[in-house]
Structure 1
């Protein structure tokens, strides 16, 4: 059986963490584990051991924590946007949708610029 050694780049696989708009950030982030304690342990392990192969447990725990956090944030973000959209007047909701589409387009262009 072959053993897989994780490295820091393995933490960057998968979709990026969601961007939370400032106007709903306090509601979306409330009570969510931001993984800062797990990240602190990972940095401490890297500082003590100097290389990633000795910090496999910390790398795995941080990856699992961030994946769980991001799933929860995406769900809360969708719920908050839906609630916000239902409570807004139609014109404001259309304007908000347009603004979000522009931000997505801008992010797509930014990512494409760095990939090319």
Structure 2
């Protein structure tokens, strides 16, 4: 059986962490495990050992924690956007919907431009933009 060695790029599987709008951030982030303790341990391990193969447990733990955190944040974000939309005056809600549609269009255009960038930098840009686009829709 082959052993898989995790590296930092393995943390870039699935969509990136969602961006939380400032107007609902306090409500969305309340009580969520931000995985900062595990991330500190990962950075400490990398600082001590200097290479990723010696930090397999830390990478795996952070990846699991981040996936759970992001799933919870996405659900809370969606719920908060719905509550915010229902509590706003209709004109404000329409304006917010138009703003989000405009942001989606902008992200789609940036994703098309990023598709022409090769290598790791192109991958990182496409990965980030695709996640933001998915969360904004």
TM-score, structure 2 length as denominator? 0.80
| 2:31 alignment counterpart | 31
65 and 112 in structure 1: CA distance in 2 versus 1, 3 angstrom threshold:
farther
| 2:105 alignment counterpart | 105
Q: What secondary structure is seen at the aligned counterpart in 1 of 2:2?
A: coil
> 2: CA distance between counterparts of 1:60 and 1:108?
32
> 2: CA distance between counterparts of 1:65 and 1:33?
8
Q: Superposed, which structure 2 residues align to 1:1-116 within 5 Å?
A: 1-116=1-116
Q: How many residues align?
A: 116
Moved over 2 A (4+): 104-115
Q: What secondary structure is seen at the aligned counterpart in 1 of 2:79?
A: helix
Moved more, 54-63 or 89-98: 89-98
TM-score, structure 1 length as denominator? 0.93
16 and 112 in structure 1: CA distance in 2 versus 1, 3 angstrom threshold:
farther
39 and 115 in structure 1: CA distance in 2 versus 1, 3 angstrom threshold:
farther
Moved more, 69-78 or 13-22: 13-22
> 2: CA distance between counterparts of 1:71 and 1:38?
17
Q: Aligned-pair distance for 1:39?
A: 0.5
Q: Aligned-pair distance for 1:53?
A: 0.4
Coordinate RMSD, CA, aligned: 1.2
